[in-house]
Amino acid sequence: MSIELVIVRHGQSEGNRDRVFTGHGPSPLTERGRREAEAVARRIAEKPVSAIFASDLPRALETAAPIVTQTGVPLVADPALRERNFGELTGTSFADIEERHPDVWRALRARDPLFRPPGGESNADCRARIAGFVDALLAARAEGRIVLVSHGVAINQLLYHLLGLPAEAPPVVFRVDNCSVQRVERHEGVVRILCINDKSHLEGLLT
């Protein structure tokens, strides 16, 4: 028996477009993001889906909605799949942080696993949260094709966990673009990464 995780990053949000730290803040999809969500839904619906889980943040729920429509599978929203919480940085542009708080910017760019912005989460905190979710999911289900809709940093942390990388390891950054698909399979106890940042379903999408 095998279980496949189809891990989707949300479509382009206003925060992505404007290069702003969004974290747990509201940031709806752009028009492009909505087209991306429709495209990834069509791709996912080509095969049966057992369950759909999504972060409860608006941009993830908007991305999951067409997948629910295309597959007929109900959505379960779970805050464990949220993006890293950037605390007081939420709503601040990358450029402003780099200019006004260079030490904070350097820590973020270095992906220090223990750096916690004021009022926010470290990468290690985010990893523990999403790892707990996926471990419980894999313990409860032996087979099926399960869709997870989440966020860029959170998906990286999830992949690190599945690969067994120690939290203090040098940063390995997986490129996870908007509405890209990551596929992970567990078969007879072995976890296999099948693809990362698959965007073939977005080819030809108008900008």
For residue 15, being part of any structural domain is answered with yes
> Was 192 annotated as part of a binding site?
no
On the question of pLDDT at 171 being above 80, the answer is: no
> Was 10 annotated as part of a binding site?
yes
For residue 164, being part of any structural domain is answered with yes
- Can you give 12-73 as a three-state secondary structure string? CEHHHHHCECCCCCCCCECHHHHHHHHHHHHHHCCCCCCEEEECCCHHHHHHHHHHHHHHCC
For residue 149, being part of any structural domain is answered with yes
Tokens 């990468």 map to which residue?
123
Contacts by 135-140, CB closer than 8 A, 24 or more apart: 137/53, 138/3, 138/186
Q: How many CB atoms lie within 10 A of CB 86?
A: 24
Tell me which residues are annotated as active site: 10, 83
Give the span between the Cα atoms of 145 and 158, in whole angstroms: 17
For the chain, the domain total comes to: 1
> Was 12 annotated as part of a binding site?
yes
Quick one: pLDDT at residue 206?
A: 62
For residue 207, being part of any structural domain is answered with no
CB 31 within 8 A of CB 207: no
- Residue 58 exposed, middle or buried by CB count within 10 Å (0-12, 13-18, 19+): middle
**Each residue's pLDDT tens digit, 36-69:** 999 999 999 999 999 999 999 999 999 999 999 9
For residue 142, being part of any structural domain is answered with yes
Percent of the chain with pLDDT over 70: 99
Tell me the residue range of the domain where 18 lies: 2-202
Quick one: pLDDT at residue 167?
A: 80
Sheet of 2-9, strand order:
75-77, 51-54, 144-150, 2-9, 181-187, 190-198
**Each residue's pLDDT tens digit, 174-192:** 999 999 999 999 988 889 9
Tally the C-alpha atoms within 13 A of residue 177's C-alpha that lie toward its C-beta.
10
> Was 13 annotated as part of a binding site?
yes
> Was 59 annotated as part of a binding site?
yes
**Each residue's pLDDT tens digit, 144-170:** 999 999 999 999 999 999 998 888 776
Give the span between the Cα atoms of 171 and 105, in whole angstroms: 16
Quick one: pLDDT at residue 158?
A: 96
Quick one: pLDDT at residue 172?
A: 84
Q: What is the DSSP letter of 89?
A: G
What CATH number should be reported for the domain holding residue 143?
3.40.50.1240
pLDDT-derived band at 83, boundaries 50, 70, 90: very high
User: Mean per-residue pLDDT for 23-48?
Assistant: 97
On the question of pLDDT at 207 being above 70, the answer is: no
For residue 55, being part of any structural domain is answered with yes
What global pTM score does this model have? 0.95
